Amino acid sequence: MFASPGNPGIGAQAELVSLDPADHAQVLDFCEQQRIGLVVVGPEAPLVDGLADSLRGAGVPVFGPSRAAAQLEGSKAFTKELCARHQIPTAGFKRATDSTQAYHALDSFGIPVVIKADGLAAGKGVTVAMTRAEAEQAIDEIFSGRFGAAGAEAVIEEFMEGEEASFFALTDGHTVVPFGSAQDHKRVGDGDVGPNTGGMGAYSPAPVLTPLLEGEALERIVVPTVRAMAEEGMPYSGVLYAGLMLTREGVKLIEYNARFGDPECQVLMLRLEDDLGELMLAVAENRLATRPVPRLSPQTALTVVLAAKGYPDTPAKGGAIAGLDRAEALGAKVFHAGTALAQGTLVASGGRVLNVTAIGENVTAAQAKAYAAVDAIDFADGFCRRDIGWREVLRERGGHEDHDR
């Protein structure tokens, strides 16, 4: 197994190689030299750039959607318009190609309203505006070039009330099978305060997404999307990650990711009681229907992100990390994200550095194990939220959901 660029965590299982995912010829040459039997494209940017198309064109099995299918993540307007054409429930929207159009679009919605940069903005570029002034400021930021090409267009959306949950499915473009649910915590601070991040922690399954609601999401949102993509000549192959809002009118789509996501992937992996490689190869070879539905543990997995101080704005790099063996001796699994080796010492090399992940009978038990492992790690330049899973912990105690911190 090879990983590019990889990190010291996956380096224990895979040989690390330096490949530029934007250089398709280089990736194809490597696959030919090493006789690669399956490529898993993890990040969204290479998918939107069409790396999977180049690999498939060379006969290399690949887990991940084509450039056309990856538009489900790469363009919010594309997805909203697909939903409109195929009656897939989602928030009302208008698209805008300049600030004047966007200001006019605001008149169609009440306040609060959601403003989004259309393209890939690395988890940024989304504002829930609580006043007209905030909405106009968000529009100005998008069209000022702050988000680069991602801000060439904006999508103005109706604000949806409800609780968010994430639902995952594997598909080879024909067969669709469920792959679990999760909830994450986007805000940087305890009590869901501060700026949005790529995710400060997550747990799986999401009890709020009951079997009934999961079935509704599959039948009304995910399966119709896969069918629509095939009908329109863009069959979707890979994992489809649906961000959902549980509204009074039913389950509605917020947006799609064309990948497993982080930190959701970590909790799904701890619950998986199946061979991930076999599942991904079955997707890549269009034979998902020949496999049983993936098995996931009924237990709860919870992950806490250890981030570098200053994240998400200017995270400190180079801070030494120790104690991972102690953490894993307590029953946790520590996934590496932004780590590197500097003269034999493990150090931070990114904003989100580690995912400390544990499994238990419920959220309360998994949370306790995860934080015990967090506390065993020595990372002076790190910080984390101390309340991952708080909604479910309160529910398990029979309390209400208001977070009073």
| Model pLDDT for residues 54-80, shown as the tens digit of each residue | 999 999 999 999 999 999 999 999 999
Q: In the block, which residue shows the tokens 């992100």?
A: 305
Is-contact 79 245, C-beta < 8 A?
A: no
Distance CA 171, CA 227 (A): 11
Could you tell me which of 237, 289, 182 has the C-alpha nearest to residue 64? 237
Distance CA 102, CA 154 (A): 7
Distances (CA, A) of 46 to 51, 70, 153, 304: 6, 10, 21, 27
- The pLDDT of residue 404: 39
In single-letter form, the type of residue at position 243 comes to: G
Predicted pLDDT of residue 403: 47
pLDDT band at 146 (very low <50, low <70, confident <90, very high): confident
pLDDT above 70 as % of the chain: 98
DSSP 8-state secondary structure symbol assigned to residue 310: T
- Tokens 């306040």 map to which residue? 111
Each residue's pLDDT tens digit, 101-133: 999 999 999 899 999 999 887 767 888 999 999
The yes-or-no verdict on residue 328 having pLDDT over 90 is: yes
What local confidence, expressed as pLDDT, does residue 163 receive?
92
Calculate mean pLDDT across residues 181-193: 94
Alpha helices in 14-172 (DSSP H): 24-34, 44-48, 51-57, 71-74, 76-85, 99-106, 132-143
Token pair for 381:
């330049």
For residue 255, give the H/E element and its range.
Answer: strand 250-257
- Contact between 162 and 253 under an 8 Å Cβ cutoff? The reply is no
Q: Is the pLDDT higher at 150 or at 338? A: 338
Which amino acid would we find at residue 379?
A: F
pLDDT for res 125: 83
- Beta strand ranges found along 111-186 (DSSP E): 113-117, 126-129, 154-158, 163-171, 176-184
Residue whose C-alpha is closest to residue 302's, from 192, 207, 399, 377? 207
pLDDT band at 400 (very low <50, low <70, confident <90, very high): low
- Please name the amino acid found at residue 105: A
Compute CA 387 distance to the chain's CA centroid, rounded to the nearest angstrom: 20
Give the tokens for residue 345: 């010492």
For tokens 């605001």, name the residue.
106
DSSP character for 219?
I
| Cα–Cα distance, 18 to 319 (Å, whole number) | 23
In whole angstroms, what is the distance from residue 59 CA to residue 111 CA?
50
Q: Which two tokens stand for residue 353?
A: 């550095």
Question: b/e string for 348-381 if b means 16 or more Cβ within 10 A?
Answer: bbbbbbbbbbbbbebbbbbbebbbebbebbebeb
Mean of pLDDT values over 21-35: 98
Beta bridge partners of 247: 250
Beta strand pairing call for 39-40 and 62-63: parallel
Burial tier of 305 (Cβ tally within 10 Å: 0-12, 13-18, 19+): buried
pLDDT number for residue 401: 57
| Rg of the chain taking only CA atoms, in angstroms | 21
Q: What is the pLDDT of residues 262-281, one digit of tens each?
A: 999 999 999 999 999 999 99
Confidence of residue 405 (pLDDT cuts 50, 70, 90): very low
**Selection from 210, 186, 225 nearest residue 78 by Cα:** 225
pLDDT on residue 121? 77
Q: What is the residue-averaged pLDDT of the chain?
A: 95
pTM, rounded to two decimals: 0.93
AA letter at 174: H
Structure confidence by residue, pLDDT tens digits, 352-381: 999 999 999 999 999 999 999 999 999 999
Token pair listed for 278: 């076999």
